[in-house]
Structure 1
Amino acid sequence: MTTPALFLLATLAVPAAPAPAAPELPRDAAFEACVASLRAPAAAAGIRSDTFATLTADLRKDPSVLESLDYQPEFRTPIWDYLAGLVDDERVDDGRARLAEHRELLDRLAAEYQVDAETIVAVWGVESDYGRTFGRKPLLQSLATLSCAGRRQAFFRGELFALIRLIQAGDLRAEGLAGSWAGAFGHTQFMPSTYQRIAVDGDGDGRRDLVASIPDALASTANYLRKAGWRPGEAWGFEVRLPAGDFNAAGRQAKKPMAHWRSRGVVRADGSHLPAGDTAAALLLPAGREGPAFLVQRNYDAIYSYNAAESYALAIALLSDRLRGGPGLVADWPTNDPGLSRAERRQLQERLLARGHDIGAVDGLIGAKTRDAIAAEQRRLGLTPDGRAGRAILEALRKE
């Protein structure tokens, strides 16, 4: 399904309110001609002519989505920064509250789909911060833009048609429908084609509404993981400690029997023995030999399929462990400037404001103004002025 649209590192702390009105964009004759040319293939895809005309009548090309097309934080952000904002104490506490609030629903889903409640809620937490941030791009406009410009136009046309079919079927309402720049939306950020294939009616109202219905969204997430090969009762994996030696044969697809890893002297991060049996597991070294190491199993692959990025899958896996009461990572990341939690980012912004920097609201979002202010403070303190919102600058400002 992937959610390349959401800059997950920022984790927008905004309510899931109706999307703002589409920006006033100029008319683009070539774009309008392209949209008009989609009428015939849309009809062949089962879309009524009047539906297509109504939903595309006022769409304008949005260049901003094209700027985002090649940017995915899962692949560009250092993993210690990525996870610091996604698996922080706030998200753990919120997740535990959601587990308690929706216990009856989650127990029912666990029984029906054989996926544990903590993993379902971890997906919800990573994808939309438990419904706080759905994305604010008008979906029809974004997908129409991507259908007519940039790379992968055929893919995005399929997503546009899937979205229109969902609206046509009555599952969704077009008014205020917003999501990420690439078309993912709802509590657990399904792409339209995934929504059409996988979404289920979790509240029994006859509709599959992953935007307004938490039961629909969580049931659909459980259904997705089940169809992706989830094995009930089996862990996604666990952190391990490696002995000296060559462990170059790492990677999610290089699975070997657990006995192989036992014979190599691999143990759990706390020093205990690996599980008995010969379950297949792969060694994952997301930051190389000097960082945390993991043995991952089939359920990790199911999580990975949700959005094909190792850092993303690890965020869900590690958050699910924390929701079960786990302590978090044992090993440190190989950096002398670790990433900041959302609370720490807000603390950093408060200190920048106190020093007179005009950075706007204290929201935990590290934008251009915050980075410029950080760089200015780094220069003043004799640090490298790279604008990085890391532990080094926060600690330096705390000491003053």
Structure 2
Amino acid sequence: MRIPTFLLIFLLSAGPLYANCGGSFSTFVAALKAEAIEAGYAPTTVDAFFASARQDQAVLRADRAQGVFQKPFIDFSRRLISQNRIDRGRSNARKYKSVFDRIEAEYGVSRGVLLAFWAFETDYGAVQGDFNTLNALLTLSHDCRRPDLFRPQVFAALELYERDDFSPTRTTGAWAGEIGMVQMLPSDILENGIDGDGDGHVTLKTSAPDALLSGGRMLASLGWRADEPWLQEVVIPSSLDLSQTGTDHTKTVADWAALGVSARQGELAAGDFEASIILPQGHKGPAFIAYPNFNVYFEWNQSFVYVLTAAYFATRLEGATIYDAGNPDPGLPGAQMKELQTKLQGRGHDVGKIDGILGARTRRAVQAEQARLGLPADAWPTAALLSSL
């Protein structure tokens, strides 16, 4: 008898039984097949599943070429958010009203949140990716950069194959193995997939009800707090202590209000909510208050600029006005960002990889150095900071 799925996933997360990464690709696949049989899958099923396995160099090239995330928030959000996407989002909200009503009733996830993911991930299902999913997962599992992330997905895909919800030759998606309209990995489909249209299958590529309900359930499983806000544009006073801004620092909404933070549109959320003030391009640019649900976005995608843009777009789809871009100081181009990261690292800060991307660790280091040097500690790196270092 085959090991139950939940136990199989547990065993896989504990570490490989046979296969590691690197080396001969055919030997790597053979080891995965042996592991699948050891876990209880029939040899004929395993042979059929892996029969078309191929290494895909295009996947590796895509994995190493994610330059879009180097763009600052204003540029990135203007690139992704258009009036056409807003209009289509609101049209889809009307078309699938009953589905969104069900999601809000069962999971407390507001429709704008899922509409924004749907728009950014696949342009409402129009661009889902044409990479062979199994080969993408095998290639990234064999590559030694992040095998622990992708290797369990191969076995999750095998489980979906047994359920007739995955094809080794026909299932396609993004280069990183995500499938369907809201781009979910196989293990996420196993754990959170919902047959929303009642056809007996979880089909995220062609069924909007399946994709949206599955996405709502996944957000709930990641900790989404039902019927609570996630992000709101605010106005900050000139007297605000900028060193207290950023996702690392929280105060109650009441405390922020007492310091002079106000909503640019409408009212702030309940005073007892913990929240952070986010200044994506410094104190001269847009300002947002991030509520607890904002942190769940990082479970979906770890890019700060993507997360903030998706969260902001969700508010736009539900009626928020265009943010006030302000007049932020120019940021640093890629080469200077790498130079800054190198200098920060030299001062003992953990900035992660020297990649020219303004991620969470680099922001934290920038803010610390700004405070030390007496510069506005808003975590936005500028030429003045680079010069001072």
Give the TM-score band, short-chain normalised: 0.7 to 0.9
Detail structure 1 runs of 4+ shifted over 6 Å in the superposition. none
**Within-5 A mapping of 1:301-340:** 301-332=295-326, 334=328
Q: How far apart, in 1, do the equivalents of 2:262 and 2:68 lie?
A: 28
1:145 pairs, out of 139, 142, 158, with: 139
- For the residue of structure 2 that corresponds to 1:295, the secondary structure is strand
Deviations 1:133-183 (A, max 9, x none): 111111111111122223122332111111121112122334421111111
Offset of residue 263 of structure 1: 2.1
1:252 pairs, out of 244, 247, 254, with: 247
Q: Does 1:262 align with 2:268?
A: no
- For the residue of structure 2 that corresponds to 1:68, the secondary structure is helix
Query: One-letter code of the match for 1:36?
Result: A
Distance 1:276 1:160, change over 3 A: closer
**Within-5 A mapping of 1:179-258:** 179-245=173-239, 246-258=241-253
Offset of residue 66 of structure 1: 1.8
Distance 1:144 1:78, change over 3 A: same
Deviations 1:307-332 (A, max 9, x none): 12222222222222221122221233
Q: How far apart, in 2, do the equivalents of 1:284 and 1:46 lie?
A: 49
Contact in 1 for aligned 2:62/2:175 (Cα 8 Å): yes
Q: How far apart, in 2, do the equivalents of 1:73 and 1:269 lie?
A: 32
With normalisation by structure 2, the TM-score equals 0.73
- For the residue of structure 2 that corresponds to 1:38, the secondary structure is helix
- For the residue of structure 1 that corresponds to 2:255, the secondary structure is helix
2:73 pairs, out of 79, 84, 92, with: 79
Offset of residue 207 of structure 1: 1.7
- For the residue of structure 1 that corresponds to 2:311, the secondary structure is helix
Q: How far apart, in 1, do the equivalents of 2:291 and 2:255 lie?
A: 14
Bigger CA drift: 246-255 or 42-51? 42-51
Q: Does 1:118 align with 2:87?
A: no
Offset of residue 112 of structure 1: 2.0
Q: How far apart, in 1, do the equivalents of 2:295 and 2:68 lie?
A: 16
2:34 pairs, out of 21, 36, 40, with: 40
Q: How far apart, in 1, do the equivalents of 2:226 and 2:139 lie?
A: 41
Distance 1:145 1:247, change over 3 A: same
Higher relative contact order (CA 8 A, sep 6+): 1
Distance 1:47 1:154, change over 3 A: farther
Contact in 2 for aligned 1:47/1:168 (Cα 8 Å): no
Deviations 1:343-384 (A, max 9, x none): xxxxxxxxxxxxxxxxxxxxxxxxxxxxxxxxxxxxxxxxxx
* Ranges in structure 1 where 5+ consecutive residues have no aligned partner: 1-27, 338-400
Matched with 1:366 is none
Identity of aligned residues (%): 35
Q: How far apart, in 2, do the equivalents of 1:280 and 1:57 lie?
A: 52
Q: How far apart, in 1, do the equivalents of 2:106 and 2:68 lie?
A: 31
Deviations 1:234-269 (A, max 9, x none): 211211111123311222242211122112211223
Q: Does 1:102 align with 2:96?
A: yes
Distance 1:309 1:40, change over 3 A: same
Contact in 2 for aligned 1:146/1:156 (Cα 8 Å): yes
Q: How far apart, in 2, do the equivalents of 1:287 and 1:45 lie?
A: 50
Matched with 2:160 is 166
Q: How far apart, in 2, do the equivalents of 1:247 and 1:335 lie?
A: 15
Number of aligned positions between the proteins: 309
Offset of residue 51 of structure 1: 2.3
Deviations 1:19-52 (A, max 9, x none): xxxxxxxxx9921122112112222445432222
For the aligned residue pairs, the C-alpha RMSD in angstroms reads 2.3
Query: One-letter code of the match for 2:247?
Result: R
- For the residue of structure 1 that corresponds to 2:196, the secondary structure is coil
Deviations 1:274-331 (A, max 9, x none): 4452211011122222221111011212233211222222222222222112222123
